[in-house]
Amino acid sequence: MTILKIIEFPADIIVNPTDNVPTNEIKLSVIQTLIRDMIDTCHDSGGLGLAANQIGVNKSILVYRTPGTNNYSTLINPVIISKIGRITSRGEGCLSIPGQYFDVKRYKQIKVEALNADGEFGIIKTESKKVAKILQHEIDHLNGITLLDNGKRVD
């Protein structure tokens, strides 16, 4: 179990888009170890999701936990392909902006195409607002977008 340091805003790696992972690199031990370390770090921090740039790695990889469980999933090179039902996420926090909370415009449901940790392509249709919010938050990170960019701070 390796716990990695979470990078905080305004570090350059947090505010710049990440690079896609070439498909032929996904099964390399360095990527698989990174994914396991990201899950360990996310779990240890109590977060629901973590993007690779939040731990200083310029790769388009995110891990997330289904709320209410300890089940983690990995998305590599994720792209949102559909958005349904605009909502406001109230009091959304971020591991890279500790102690601050924001109201953010999100969608109730999204579809995301991505590769999994085995390099297999798939499309995910979120079934809950919570998972939709987590995925939008982490994909924003991979695109160099923070809560400061698209949220209204609440004190």
pLDDT for position 126 = 95
CA-closest candidate to residue 83, choices 147, 143, 139: 139
Average pLDDT, the chain: 94
Residue 74: beta bridge partners?
63
pLDDT for position 89 = 85
pLDDT for position 134 = 97
pLDDT in tens, 10-50: 999 999 999 999 999 999 999 999 999 999 999 999 999 99
Q: Kindly report the number of other CB atoms within 10 A of residue 123's CB atom.
A: 10
CA pair distance 72, 68, nearest whole angstrom:
11
Question: Is 80 exceeded by the pLDDT of residue 155?
Answer: no
pLDDT-derived band at 150 (thresholds 50, 70, 90) equals confident
Global confidence as pTM: 0.95
pLDDT in tens, 96-130: 999 999 999 999 999 999 999 999 999 999 989 99
120 is catalytic: no
Where in 38-100 does DSSP place strands (E)?
A: 49-51, 61-65, 72-92
CATH of 12-154, one of 3.40.50.2000, 3.20.20.140, 3.90.45.10, 3.20.20.70: 3.90.45.10
Which of 8, 92, 120, 138 is catalytic? The answer is 138
Q: Is the peptide bond before 10 cis (omega within 30 degrees of 0)?
A: yes
CA pair distance 77, 119, nearest whole angstrom:
10
